[in-house]
Copies of this chain bind each other. A is one copy, B any other.
Amino acid sequence: MDTDTLVEAVRDGDLRLHELEQHADADDAAAARRRLVAAETGADLGTIGEYAFPAAEAESNIENMLGAAQVPMGIVGPIEIDGGSVEGSKRLPLATTEGALVASVNRGCAAIRAAGGATSRVFKNEMTRAPVFRVGDVAEASETAAWVRDNADRLAEAAESTTNHGELRAVTPYVVGDNVFIRFGYETRDAMGMNMATIATEAACELVTDETPAELVALSGNLCTDKKPAAINSVEGRGRTVAADVEIPRELVETYFKTTPEAIAEANTRKNLVGSAKAGSLGFNAHAANTIAAAFLATGQDIAQVVEGSNAITTADVRGDDLYASLTIASLEVGTVGGGTKLPTQSEALDVVGVAGGGDPAGSNADALAEVITTAALAGELSLLGALASNHLASAHQELGR
């Protein structure tokens, strides 16, 4: 059908809005949907319709497609990194609507560069999924937990039968009354890996329900924990646990941030450590989520996982005469394959970083992306702490945006 026919068919009640793709190509379907929604709501959807890729390429990412959201993308760098999977100079695209963010991160990158670069490492890499099971009583819970601990090999075999890329690294049972939670942790190479983990876990669950008294209630029991702030992620990590740090000589602190190492260290202690403590927070940082969100959006990550990314701790101390600062992100969930990474602007952005697609060795591209984002976020921390310490946060926003 052509667009007119599609529109007519929906108006006549012969088709429903989400069924258009079954009767037309994806772009025509989206065009028809825009006309229908425009007519219904009075909104003009012109710019939403000016997307720069074939709608069919987004079929695995969206349903009921109208078009695309367009978010301004800027660039920061060069970011100088001595990393575990990246060495040297990197650029990072950031997509955001928050004026001053790109400039702020860039200022931090310049300071890091002048200081000879940051160091970064990935400490842990496990994508998790934690189903919840019902048992009869705590005796059955105890049996089930013991069975899980004794049968890690069989669970791995079952889980790994569903995937060529994933590997079960850890399986841990937790009990609350007649609930048994099993947290499965997977190495997922260059994929963020949540779907892989879900599918593998479903297979493992069958083994559990076959061999123990446990019955599956939900394939995710919130001990994963996906897209919710949770201490289990802050403590044990999810996705990549990754840190970056830098030592910046006093004169560079003064040049780039118009303040002193002491002032930055004091602002960090009072705000990011004591303030977050008083707030009952799981995020002991200034605004790591800002950089993470903008990088996730540019590079095709799952932006709802910015929630876990914000589980980050910034430290800043005077070392000798200089400033030492670090940022450690407990649960940064990134991938360079799958999800939104193949979409056109996202794939180009990954190319800018030099990490599109699968890495060699497998996993090294996602590790590198994690290190680049973490270092950029460290730059953002330094810049905001510097601005607060030299007391011009409000004026920066007044000049650069609103």
Contact = CB atoms under 8 A, between A and B. Distances in A.
Interface string A55-74: 10010111111111111111
A48 B343 contact: no
Given A223-B279, A283-B307, 4 more contacts: A178-B245, A198-B394, A219-B393, A223-B275
A290 B227 contact: yes
A176 B277 contact: yes
Given A306-B306, A397-B195, A231 B271 contact: no
Interface in A188-242: 195, 198-199, 201-202, 216-223, 225-236, 241
A204 B346 CA distance: 43
A343 B270 contact: no
Interface stretch (A6-14, A248-256, A324-332, A357-365): A324-332
Leading 4 A-B pairs by shortest Cβ distance: A97-B340, A231-B280, A177-B326, A228-B283
A114 interface: no
Contact of A303 (B195, B270, B297, B344): B297
Contact of A95 (B69, B232, B294): B69
Interface in A330-380: 338-340, 343-346, 348-349, 351-354
Contacts of A288: 227
Contact of A179 (B45, B74, B270): B270
A71 B52 CA distance: 10
Contacts of A138: 119-121, 243-245, 326, 328
Contact of A391 (B47, B219, B225): B219
A218 B58 contact: no
A46 B225 CA distance: 37
A298 B96 CA distance: 12
Given A138-B119, A177-B245, A311-B229, A293 B282 contact: no
A61 B97 contact: yes
23 contacts: A42-B354, A46-B348, A51-B52, A51-B70, A64-B75, A64-B76, A66-B75, A68-B72, A69-B73, A98-B340, A134-B266, A178-B315, A198-B397, A218-B270, A219-B388, A220-B286, A222-B272, A228-B281, A231-B232, A232-B281, A269-B269, A276-B277, A303-B306
Given A231-B231, A297-B69, A270 B326 contact: no
Which of A33, A43, A119, A145 counts the most chain B CB atoms within 10 A? A43
Interface residue tally of chain A, by bracket? 35 or more
B315 A274 contact: yes
Contacts of A71: 68-69, 71, 297, 340, 343
A130 B228 CA distance: 24
A108 to B, nearest CB: 13
A150 interface: no
Contacts of A345: 47-48, 67-70
A113 interface: no
B351 A64 contact: no
A106 B51 CA distance: 23
A91 B177 contact: no
A84 B137 CA distance: 13
Contact of A74 (B42, B52, B63, B137): B63
A132 interface: yes
A262 to B, nearest CB: 10
Residue of A61, A82, A120, A317 contacting most chain B CB atoms (<10 Å)? A61
A64 B75 CA distance: 6
A263 to B, nearest CB: 9
A292 B125 CA distance: 27
A119 B106 contact: no
A222 B306 contact: no
Given A48-B345, A328-B176, A61 B96 contact: yes
